[in-house]
């Protein structure tokens, strides 16, 4: 069930319409404290959707929302669940996104 929900939700996280992406990130931020470690089966699918484009966005609303989501993940999920997906993404990112994710890893 969780996979079906997030399979449908994931494309909204990197929608071409910036308002849709921002609202999706804000919704994700609200979901994380509720779902917590129950997100573990979908975390490898979510991290790229959250990070790609959003952490390097020139739109301050999207960047702030993506940063809030990453912060919420770090606060509410077991850090061992985040280590591998964060490392994998940090390898291939550039700019501000790489710096932000590397700081979270540290």
Compute the Cα dihedral for 73, 61, 16, 104 and give only its sign.
Answer: negative
pLDDT tens digits for the chain (106 residues)? 888 999 999 999 989 999 999 999 999 999 999 999 999 999 999 999 999 889 999 999 999 999 999 999 999 999 999 999 999 999 999 999 999 999 998 8
Compute the Cα dihedral for 41, 82, 10, 88 and give only its sign.
Answer: negative
Containing structural domain, residue 9: 1-104
Count of structural domains, the chain: 1
Q: What is the C-alpha separation between 74 and 69, in angstroms, rounded?
A: 9
Angle subtended by helix axes 18-35 and 60-76, to nearest 10: 10
Q: What is the C-alpha separation between 50 and 73, in angstroms, rounded?
A: 11
């Amino acid at each position: 069930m969780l996979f079906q929900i997030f399979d449908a939700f994931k494309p909204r996280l990197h929608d071409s319409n910036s308002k849709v992406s921002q609202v999706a990130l804000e919704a994700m931020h609200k979901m994380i404290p509720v779902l917590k470690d129950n997100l573990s089966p979908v975390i490898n699918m979510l991290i790229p959707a959250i990070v790609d484009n959003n952490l390097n966005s020139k739109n301050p609303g999207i960047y702030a929302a993506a940063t809030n989501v990453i912060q919420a993940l770090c606060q509410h999920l077991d850090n061992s669940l985040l280590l591998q997906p964060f490392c994998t993404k940090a390898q291939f990112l550039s700019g501000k996104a790489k710096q932000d994710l590397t700081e979270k890893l540290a």
